[in-house]
Amino acid sequence: MKTYKKQDLTQEQKDFLYGTVLGDGSMCIPAKDCTNAIFTAGQGLKQKEYLMWKYMIMKEWTNSPPKIYHTKNSYGSGYTISFATGTHPVFTKIYKECYPNGKKIVSIECLNNLSDFSLAVWYMDDGCLANGITCKISTEGFTKEENQLIVDWFKSQGIETKVRKQKYSETKTFYYVVFLREGRNKFMKRIEKYIHPTMQYKLLKKRNCTQCGISFYENYHRTECSDVCKKKREDKYMDIYYQNNREKWRYKKSMT
């Protein structure tokens, strides 16, 4: 077993873990005789570059580089790439907050530890952009109450979201979080600079206002630049007004 020289996580590593544990990442106590937890991360082979980015963040806590496996599940078979850390108390602390009974849950302790970077990681793991407009996080693995806790937490951050229900069968109903229009744009602003190049497709497209040049998200009313544009339009109209009336004023002045 690897001996770790470091005894604590960097801030980047902490932020990364809190974000990905809510998403694709997982933690567990690997054996009954273990007292500390490990962290594992895995992606489909098509997302190898994204997985390697995760690995580089956590590399100093791992025992070996990522490995490729052939896997089978209810959706079919394919190849995945994954890595795991060794056991350590730094992972146990987060494990106890997010897996209090051995099962992943949403807790206020975990949510309160989310930074903008954490949110970006969570969104890259489990978020998507439907039709280029609707932004959601796939939180179907959590209960209705946990989804509501997420919505309430986002509200405390000034980001408006709501819980939506999706019925898969007569006995199965799942819940997930969607961002309302203004909340979506606030969320995008907070995470966009942290998004990995291979995950840029999950961001809203942006373009520049032809009036003032301010960048804004497509398919969104330009409230961010409307005041600037209004002032520019007023200045432009005043220039035209003065230009059209300059000769009249000169004539009147010459007659006095």
pLDDT at 1: 46
Helix (H, G, I), strand (E, B) or coil at 143: coil
β-strand partners of 177: 137, 163
- pLDDT score of 238: 56
Per-residue pLDDT of the chain (256 residues; tens, 9 = 90+): 454 556 899 999 999 999 999 999 999 999 988 999 999 999 999 999 999 999 999 999 999 999 999 888 766 788 999 999 999 999 999 999 999 989 999 999 999 999 999 999 999 999 999 887 889 999 999 999 999 999 999 999 999 999 999 888 878 899 999 999 889 999 999 999 999 999 999 998 877 776 676 666 655 544 556 666 766 666 665 555 566 666 665 655 555 5
Residue 21: CB atoms within 10 A of its CB come to: 26
Pair 220, 200 in one domain: no
Q: Is the domain of 151 the same as that of 95?
A: no
40: in domain: yes
| Buried-state track 68-102, b at ≥16 Cβ within 10 A, e below 16 | eeeeeeeeeeeebbbbbbbbbebbbebbebbbeee
Q: Are residues 219 and 161 in the same domain?
A: no
30 and 91 in a single domain? The answer is yes
Tokens representing residue 14 in the block? 């902490």
pLDDT at 35: 93
* Domain assignment present for 210: no
Residues 127 and 80 in one domain: no
What is the reported pLDDT for 236?
61
**Shared-domain flag, residues 74 and 136:** no
**Does residue 21 lie within any of the structural domains?**
yes
Does any domain span residue 110? no
State which residues form the domain around 229. 215-255
How many domains would you assign to the chain?
Answer: 3
Contacts of 118 (CB under 8 A, 6+ apart): 15, 16, 18, 19
